[in-house]
Amino acid sequence: MRCPLNCPDPGPTTMCRRCGSDLVAGPGPGPCEEAPAGVLVVRFAFGEVTLCGDAPVRLGRDPAWSPFGAALATHGNVSRKHASLGLDAGGRAWIDPEPTPNGTFLNGAELPPGTRHPLAEGDTVRLAAGPEGVVTQQGAPRP
């Protein structure tokens, strides 16, 4: 069994111990191994958020909205629907904060909600006063 979000060592059960996603069968290639553009990884203390392609990943405490809801449940100042991370068609990374009272931060600066903000290698993303992650982008974005 493997995590569909490519978390390392998801554990022996049917749910990933790092992100809370339902595990999928088989050792086959992960979704990012066939990605045409770059791969975005944001490393948080609760685990890695890995994405590729054009499907954004939502971050928040609501497990029905975010695949990381279980991992973020202990962070009371993170909103149920906090922010989304994604890659555009050219493989450039972005974060789009939801309206939240506790804010989403990029390199220490609070981001206005409802707008995609570009991310770069080494940037620090923080959700409210809680989880902080470092951006790594693998593969070159297309011009």
**Strands of the sheet with 57-59, listed across from one edge:** 57-59, 83-87, 93-97, 117-118
For residue 32, which phi and psi values (nearest 5 degrees)? -85, -15
CA 125 to chain centre: 10
| Lowest-pLDDT range of 9-23, 37-51, 77-91 | 9-23
Q: Which among 45, 37, 47, 46 has a CA at the least distance from the CA of 94?
A: 37
Record the pTM.
0.75
Query: Which CATH number does the domain housing residue 131 bear?
Result: 2.60.200.20
Summarised one tens digit per residue, pLDDT across range 105-124 is 999 999 999 999 999 999 99
pLDDT score of 137 more than 90 = no
- Does 84 map to a domain? yes
pLDDT in the model for residue 51: 82
HSE of 60 in the Cβ direction (CA atoms, 13 Å)? 20
* More confident: 34 or 93: 93
- Does 11 map to a domain? no
- Does 102 map to a domain? yes
Structural domain range at position 114: 37-138
For residue 72, which phi and psi values (nearest 5 degrees)? -95, -5
- Does 66 map to a domain? yes
Q: Mean pLDDT across the stretch 48-73?
A: 88
- Does 28 map to a domain? no
- Does 6 map to a domain? no
pLDDT in the model for residue 35: 46
- Does 104 map to a domain? yes
Summarised one tens digit per residue, pLDDT across range 84-106 is 998 888 888 999 999 999 999 99
Q: How far apart are CA 10 and CA 39, in angstroms?
A: 20
Number of domains present in the structure of the chain: 1
pLDDT score of 61 more than 70 = yes
pLDDT in the model for residue 77: 95
- Does 42 map to a domain? yes
Q: Confidence class of residue 3 from pLDDT cuts 50, 70 and 90?
A: confident
